[in-house]
Amino acid sequence: MATVLDRRVRHPEKAHKADTPLLRKPDWIRVKAPGSAVYAETQKIVRENGLVTVCEEAGCPNIGECWSKKHATFMIMGDTCTRACAFCNVKTGLPEALVGDEPEKVADAIKRMGLSHAVITSVDRDDLDDGGAAHFARVIRATRAAMPSTTIEVLTPDFLKKDGALEQVVEARPDVFNHNLETVPALYLKIRPGARYFHSLRLLQRVKELDPLMFTKSGIMVGLGETREQVMQVMDDMRSANIDFITIGQYLQPTRKHAAIDRFVTPDEFKAYETVAYSKGFLMVAASPLTRSSHHAGDDFARLRQARIQHSGH
Ligand code: SF4
């Protein structure tokens, strides 16, 4: 188990912040404990291929459930991020050079797991000229070559100030392009200081302009101090950018060094967000305390595809 000292080494940039006590989780936040045989098998494939997963790095509460179904989300381009967002458990620092055969290793792991839908994300690589876009594209192509029937979902960084980066990823033709807005614009300075709300929104709008058939997806965390009206505004902004799928989940404070939870949003409030989001025209909505971008992503993709067919009338 990590000690407080470990965490200071892991998050040197956050060590100056005052400890904020962790709130006790309500009854509706219940997760499956890791430890099944399938969980162990997933872990083995991840380790043998020398891969990093966001499941582990972000301390995702769903890891017991997902890994027991052989579903993991690969985090490419290392375990060190160039940003220091106040909500995120991934360590910050100067990342190492890209691993040349990582695309093949990711593709091999996806094949060994037999994934019908693969989710690939990454750390932010502001240190690279293209933000890692070409590497993302290589991973998509290697996965496509190894598993032609597997659908691919990417969850990318914002590629801020990286001209031409987004285009490279879209050209590799993932099935779903996901980029999370994470929170309402009023909280960006506190929660996501290195990012710009309008830029992230525009990134997703641009994906649709480049390829109108590509599904776009974005998510926010709630419980950080946002108001209901601010969440509604984000939904409207997302629809203006033609985003197909919104995810809304409860923010959980990874350690005492991270942003404190303002409150736990109740399951009924999530249900109300879901209803409103559908009324605003999203093709798919996932809103619950444990919703995460990649949680049930395969099943959700099948529903998303079905919803498009129904909406288009054929
Ligand atoms: S929800 Fe996503 S990040 Fe969390 S364990 Fe499942 S696949 Fe991994």
| Tens-place pLDDT, residues 174-213 | 999 999 999 999 999 999 999 999 999 999 999 999 999 9
Packing angle of the helix pair 37-48, 102-113 (nearest 10 deg): 160
Closest-CA residue, ligand 1 atom 5, reads: 63
Measured from the CB, is residue 294 less than 6 Å from ligand 1? yes
pLDDT of residue 33: 77
Q: Look at 31-45, 83-97, 123-137, 290-304 and tell me which has the smallest mean pLDDT.
A: 31-45
Contacts of 232 (CB under 8 A, 6+ apart): 276
Contacts of 174 (CB under 8 A, 6+ apart): 140, 152, 153, 154, 214
- Per-residue pLDDT band for 11 (boundaries 50, 70, 90) equals very low
Mean pLDDT of the region 78-92: 93
Residue with tokens 């879209």: 170
Q: Using the predicted structure, report yes or no on whether residue 265 has a pLDDT greater than 90.
A: yes
Report the candidate in 285, 261, 228 with the shortest Cα–Cα distance to residue 26.
Answer: 261
Measured from the CB, is residue 117 less than 6 Å from ligand 1? no
Mean pLDDT of the region 87-95: 93
Measured from the CB, is residue 140 less than 6 Å from ligand 1? no
**Mean pLDDT across the chain:** 91
Ligand 1 atom nearest the C-alpha of 66 is 6
Mean pLDDT of the region 34-53: 92
Measured from the CB, is residue 170 less than 6 Å from ligand 1? no
DSSP reduced 3-state for 182:
strand
Q: Using the predicted structure, report yes or no on whether residue 14 has a pLDDT greater than 80.
A: no
- Residue positions counted in the chain: 314
Q: Using the predicted structure, report yes or no on whether residue 39 has a pLDDT greater than 70.
A: yes
This prediction's pTM: 0.92
Mean pLDDT of the region 209-223: 98
Q: Using the predicted structure, report yes or no on whether residue 301 has a pLDDT greater than 80.
A: yes
Expressed in angstroms and rounded, the spacing between residue 249 Cα and the centre of ligand 1 is 12
pLDDT of residue 263: 96
Which of 76, 295, 296, 299 gets mutated to test ligand 1 (max ligand atoms within 8 A of its CB)?
295
Measured from the CB, is residue 292 less than 6 Å from ligand 1? yes
DSSP reduced 3-state for 56:
helix
Measured from the CB, is residue 55 less than 6 Å from ligand 1? yes
pLDDT of residue 311: 85
Q: Using the predicted structure, report yes or no on whether residue 219 has a pLDDT greater than 90.
A: yes
Closest-CA residue, ligand 1 atom 1, reads: 295
Select the highest-mean-pLDDT range: 1-15, 65-79, 202-216: 202-216
Share of the chain above pLDDT 70, in %: 93
Ligand 1 atom nearest the C-alpha of 293 is 2
Measured from the CB, is residue 54 less than 6 Å from ligand 1? yes
pLDDT of residue 3: 31
Measured from the CB, is residue 296 less than 6 Å from ligand 1? no
Q: What is the pLDDT of residues 162-173, one digit of tens each?
A: 999 999 999 999
Q: What is the pLDDT of residues 70-81, one digit of tens each?
A: 899 999 999 999
Measured from the CB, is residue 63 less than 6 Å from ligand 1? yes
Ligand 1 atom nearest the C-alpha of 71 is 7
- Per-residue pLDDT band for 297 (boundaries 50, 70, 90) equals very high
- With 0-12 / 13-18 / 19 or more C-beta atoms within 10 angstroms meaning exposed / middle / buried, residue 209 is exposed
Expressed in angstroms and rounded, the spacing between residue 70 Cα and the centre of ligand 1 is 11
Measured from the CB, is residue 118 less than 6 Å from ligand 1? no
Q: Using the predicted structure, report yes or no on whether residue 19 has a pLDDT greater than 90.
A: no
Q: Which of the pair, 1 or 120, is modelled with greater confidence? A: 120
Closest-CA residue, ligand 1 atom 3, reads: 55
Ligand 1 atom nearest the C-alpha of 292 is 1
The continuous run of DSSP H or E covering 91 comes out as strand 91-92
Q: Using the predicted structure, report yes or no on whether residue 16 has a pLDDT greater than 80.
A: no
